[in-house]
A and B are shown apart, each in its own frame.
Chain A
Amino acid sequence: MSEYILCFVLFCIGLYCVLRKRNIIKIIIGLGIIEYAVNLFFVLIGYRAHGRAPILAKDQNILNMVDPLPQALVLTSIVIGLAVTALLVAIAIRIYEKYGTFDITKIRRLRG
């Protein structure tokens, strides 16, 4: 239980960063932390106490493997996180070139 709570605390730190910080790079970092927290949560729910990694060995029969499915899903999710980060950084660099700042309070040509 405490693991789940800590993981959610991590999620909330990321959420706080996205909602409250004014710097574009800080916002990207916040999104990264959210991503980490969700990935961690997936692996946490698949963990089996005293389990083994889901890789078969040649001459032994492993009985208590951890849940392999969340691991497969997280592999996908990690790559999605990387893709989103790369795209956001590209946009951020372009924004810096156009406005000369990373501060979103100064980047506000669009209304509401």
Chain B
Amino acid sequence: MMLPFFVIIPLGTAFLISLFGKKIKNLSDILANLGTLSLLIFSLYSISQVATQKILVYKVGGWIPPIGICMVLDGLTSFMLVTVNLVSFLVTLYSINYMERYTDKYRFYTLFMLMLAGMNGIIITGDLFNLFVFLEIASIASYALVAFGTEAEELEASFKYAVMGSVASSFILLGIALLYSYTSTLNMADISQVLSGKPPGQMVNFVAVLFLAGFGLKAALVPFHAWLPDAHPSAPAPISAMLSGVFIKTLGVYALCRVFFNILTVSSRLLFVLIVFGMISMVVGAFLAIAQTDIKRMFAYSSISQIGYIIFALGIGTPLAFFGALFHLFNHAVFKSLLFLNSGAIEYSTNTRNLNRLGGLSRSLPVTGYTSLLGSMAISGIPPLGGFWSKLIIIIAAIQAGYFVSALVAILISILTLAYYLKFLKFTFFGKINEARQNIREVPGLMKLSMIFLGIICVISGLLIVPLFKPFLQSAVNVLLLGNGYKDAVFGMLR
């Protein structure tokens, strides 16, 4: 019953903000924060729903699924919903102060809520074409948000991103068209059922390659990564946090998981392709990140590298690897958005992002400094923090599956990650302070609050492997392990 509200709330807020936001002054702040807060509450509630009922199917318009569209709530869905809505709530809290720097704040909130509606729509849908439609909503909103500052570089980055994103979308649409012709249905569970009754052919592999190209472009895997290092730094800091934190994971990783594991049930050869792509992304992203002097560009390359870890783990395909992949996905969403918000705070108070022109900020920006330390330590895998456990699980899974060289590479890249985050900390917070910046002040309260929240989650996210909280992740992993059984679960609910 509550499933459609994951789309209705952000859509309604977006329409209301665009209608009244210009006239009533603080309305857009209040509405957007209320909207994301209620979404967070709904998504936390969905965990308990999944725990009791395993899988929920909502029939939109009352039509039985192959005819109408259905929404599906299972472990993976609720896991992604919590991740997306948690980050988006903290990001809207942060934007109240941060977006004062930009004109037309209500347009920002409108586009932000539309992007959120798109992401939630992708996550909860059970229909392939519907997934495409919401993917386009999220993408178009993000193209516009990247260019929100309307400076020359931002427009250029947005154009590059929009062109590559549209090509990716048309690959995905072509894949859907071929799949429709082959199976004559659009419902995910139904497609999976029809496919399991057909003899193996070239068709499924071709469609899988199209989807890999499309979703890979959205997830910025390395041969297709050219847009990300431009687009993510160009956006306003809250949007960078959303894009790097949850956007590429929802549009890229989640959609890829759903299509590859639950619908197409791809062969092990294609999974090996995922491992190769993951490895390349991991290595290339890390090496490019070291050379950067712009903070946000460094973080953007680091995102490519960390997405590489997730895709690599998904490619291994053992239960432990799936667990590691999803755990790392959650961790990365938290600490990468924290780091981007930190970079926003640094830019907010010093007006620069260049590492060579910063230094000694730890005294004047204590909250930003300490939360950055937490985020950096978490992403480079320092023991008590969440990032350590997820990387450890991925590496153990790789060794168990016999990929010794890859495991070694993953460890080395982890050390490299530590190196460039130490570089970031050293150049930003330690060393001598610039004379002109003696009297800069800490950022406003709400920005501090959301950074502190994210920092706390960074510390305690390691608890997700404790038996008490494990079911949250385990139920998501079970959906991936279910593979072809997804259709039986969905149709079982309908009968």
Contacts and interface: CB of A to CB of B under 8 A. Distances in A.
6 contacts: A34-B166, A69-B186, A80-B169, A87-B144, A91-B158, A92-B159
B156 interface: yes
Contacts of B186: 69
Given A35-B170, A42-B180, A88-B163, 9 more contacts: A38-B173, A41-B177, A73-B180, A83-B140, A84-B162, A95-B159, A109-B152, A110-B156, A110-B230
Given A41-B177, A95-B156, A34 B167 contact: yes
Interface in A84-101: 84, 87-88, 91-92, 94-95, 98-99
Contact of B163 (A11, A27, A41, A80): A27
B130 to A, nearest CB: 10
Could you tell me the dominant secondary structure of chain A's interface residues?
helix
A99 B152 contact: yes
A80 B156 contact: no
A92 to B, nearest CB: 7
B163 A18 contact: yes
Interface string B147-186: 1001011011111001100110110011001001100001
Contacts of B19: none
Given A31-B167, A45-B180, A109 B174 contact: no
B229 A87 contact: no
Interface of A: 11, 15, 18, 24, 27, 31, 34-35, 38, 41-42, 45, 69-70, 73, 76-77, 80, 83-84, 87-88, 91-92, 94-95, 98-99, 107, 109-110, 112
Nearest to B143: A87
A80 B181 CA distance: 21
A27 B156 CA distance: 14
| Chain B residues touching A, range | 20 to 34
Interface string B258-292: 00000000000000000000000000000010000
Nearest to B181: A45
Contacts of A11: 170, 174
Contacts of A109: 152-153, 156
Contacts of B140: 83-84, 87
Contacts, number: 80
A71 B343 CA distance: 47
B136 interface: yes
Contact of A91 (B153, B155, B229): B155
A83 to B, nearest CB: 6
Contacts of B155: 91, 94-95, 98
A17 B412 CA distance: 40
Contacts of A73: 129, 180
Contacts of B41: none
B449 interface: no
B163 A31 contact: yes
B177 A24 contact: no
B159 A84 contact: no
Contact of A107 (B156, B162, B180): B156
A15 B170 CA distance: 10
Contacts of A69: 180, 186
Contacts of B159: 24, 88, 91-92, 95
Contacts of A87: 140, 143-144, 162
A109 B294 CA distance: 14
Given A91-B147, A94-B150, A42 B177 contact: yes
Nearest to B174: A38
B194 interface: no
B168 to A, nearest CB: 11
Interface of B: 129, 133, 136, 140, 143-144, 147, 150, 152-153, 155-159, 162-163, 166-167, 169-170, 173-174, 177, 180-181, 186, 226, 229-230, 288
A91 B152 contact: no
Contact of B170 (A34, A76, A95): A34
Contacts of A76: 129, 133
A95 B147 CA distance: 11
A65 to B, nearest CB: 15
A112 B233 CA distance: 13
A77 B156 contact: no
B153 A18 contact: no
B136 A80 contact: yes
A80 to B, nearest CB: 5
Nearest to B164: A18
Given A91-B147, A95-B156, A99-B152, A84 B166 contact: yes
A46 to B, nearest CB: 8
A38 B186 CA distance: 17
Contacts of B136: 80, 83-84
B92 to A, nearest CB: 23
Contacts of B156: 95, 107, 109-110
A26 B156 CA distance: 16
A5 B177 CA distance: 14
Nearest to A8: B174
A24 B155 CA distance: 12
B404 to A, nearest CB: 32
A112 B226 contact: yes
Contacts of A91: 143, 147, 155, 158-159, 162
Contacts of A35: 170
Contacts of B169: 80
